[in-house]
Chain A
Amino acid sequence: MRIELRGLSKSYGRLAVLKSCDLELQSGQLLCLLGSNGAGKTTLLRVVSGLLSADQGGLFVDGKETSLNSAQWRRQCAFVAHKTYLYQDLTGLENLSFFSHLYQCDFTQEELRRRLGDVGLARAADKQVRAYSRGMQQRLTIARALLPEPAVVILDEPFTGLDKDASALLVRMLAGVKERGGMVLMTSHDPQAAISVTDAFVRLSRGTLTDVLPVRGRVWAELEPLLYPEPTPKAQAA
Chain B
Amino acid sequence: MKNWLNTLRTLIWKDLLQEWRSKDMLTAMLAFAILSIFIFNYAMELDPRQRAELAPGILWVVITFSGTLGLNRSFVAEQEQGSFDALVMAVPGLGSIWLAKQISNFLMMMILILIVLPVYSLLYNQNLFIPGLMMTLTLGAWSFSAAGTLLASMTAQTRMRDLLLPVLLFPILMPVNMAVVKAGTGIMTGAAVASYQVWLTVLLVYGIIMSTISLMVFDYVILE
**Chain A interface residues (CB < 8 Å from chain B):** 49-53, 69, 71, 74-75, 77-79, 81-90, 94, 98-99, 101-104, 128, 144, 148
Contacts and interface: CB of A to CB of B under 8 A. Distances in A.
Given A85-B82, A102-B10, A78 B89 contact: yes
Contact of A102 (B18, B80, B90, B224): B90
A83 B81 contact: yes
A50 B223 CA distance: 8
B175 interface: no
Nearest to B219: A69
B81 A85 contact: yes
Contacts of B10: 98, 101-102
A213 to B, nearest CB: 30
Contacts of B134: none
A3 B197 CA distance: 59
Q: Which 7 A-B pairs have the closest CB atoms?
A: A83-B82, A85-B86, A102-B90, A89-B21, A101-B10, A85-B83, A74-B89
Most buried by A among B11, B80, B81: B81
Interface string B73-92: 00001001111011111111
Contacts of A144: 86
Most buried by A among B6, B87, B92: B92
A137 to B, nearest CB: 8
A89 B77 contact: yes
B57 to A, nearest CB: 36
Contacts of B11: 102
Given A52-B223, A87-B83, A75 B90 contact: yes
21 contacts: A51-B85, A51-B88, A52-B223, A53-B223, A75-B92, A79-B89, A81-B85, A83-B82, A86-B81, A87-B18, A88-B77, A88-B81, A89-B22, A90-B14, A90-B18, A98-B10, A98-B14, A99-B86, A99-B90, A102-B7, A102-B91
Contacts, number: 81
Nearest to B87: A102
Nearest to B94: A71
Nearest to A85: B86
B9 to A, nearest CB: 8
B82 A49 contact: no
B81 A103 contact: no
Interface string B86-124: 111111111000000000000000000000000000000
Given A81-B82, A102-B11, A104-B7, 6 more contacts: A83-B85, A84-B82, A85-B86, A87-B81, A89-B22, A101-B6
Most buried by B among A77, A79, A148: A79
B75 to A, nearest CB: 13
B191 interface: no
Contacts of A87: 14, 18, 77, 81, 83
A69 B83 CA distance: 18
A102 B50 CA distance: 52
Most buried by B among A53, A98, A128: A98
A22 to B, nearest CB: 23
B180 to A, nearest CB: 33
Given A89-B18, A90-B17, A49 B81 contact: no
Contacts of A77: 89
A77 B85 CA distance: 12
Interface string B188-224: 0000000000000000000000000000000000011
B19 to A, nearest CB: 9
B158 interface: no
Contacts of A89: 17-18, 21-22, 77
Nearest to B91: A102
Contacts of A103: 90
B81 A84 contact: yes
Most buried by B among A79, A86, A102: A102
Nearest to B96: A102
